[in-house]
A and B are shown apart, each in its own frame.
Chain A
């Protein structure tokens, strides 16, 4: 994949879609990671 690939139509679209998917994946998993955190061992989560 030489540098000329960047000049081809479609290359930009590929980058944008990839970035979009990576972002949604990363940010999304970050949010889910927090949302799915287990509660305390005491069984009673602190209400804040």
Chain B
């Protein structure tokens, strides 16, 4: 059984946020609008977080794209009262939208804050309906339930059904929308249990690290540390 993981090379990432947009289009993430965005209700299955360090002129800015970490020891799965979130056999943490009761305990449990709640009925005003993914899945979620990144499970399922390869190793490999669209080629997807795959090799790189590893959640999204810029004296 493959164990799907992701690697994001922070040296190649330009923080263009194409991944965030591609994800929302692919997965029919609802449109928030400026009011709801200001109220903090916009949904970003993938988000790019900016961390500023240091004081001028020695400022360091780091931009970290964050999808769901798809932890191997997911705290969200542990606390869900109805099993609406679960980790499947291939390590993808999925949602059962029909079962979720909207208690939001999983959202509290996630130490990465990567889960989102549908505070209202999803809508696509005006011309934005053109961005909806017409595929049978993923359907827009109703209000009152939790959703999050699923490593584009619909793409993975279709690939399996059609017998196409999955992962960044193959030029024709099916990968999540964020990986496919990345303008800097910074994102990789593949089987962590296959020692020859790109993600597996990169995850063993000395530049590799994971967010909040000390918590024991065993996240499967690896980051490659960006290099240091040297000032020419």
Contact = CB atoms under 8 A, between A and B. Distances in A.
A–B touching in complex (CB under 8 Å): yes
A9 B81 CA distance: 8
Interface string A4-42: 000111001000000000000000000000000000000
Nearest to A11: B83
B82 interface: yes
A43 B156 CA distance: 81
Interface residues of B, number: 4
A9 B101 CA distance: 14
Contacts, number: 5
Interface of B is mostly: loop
Interface of B: 78, 81-83
A8 B81 CA distance: 10
Contacts of A8: 83
5 contacts: A7-B78, A8-B83, A9-B82, A9-B83, A12-B81
A39 B16 CA distance: 86
Nearest to A12: B81
Contacts of B81: 12
A8 B80 CA distance: 11
Nearest to A13: B82
Nearest to A9: B83
A12 B83 CA distance: 10
B114 to A, nearest CB: 21
B162 to A, nearest CB: 31
Nearest to A10: B83
Contacts of B83: 8-9
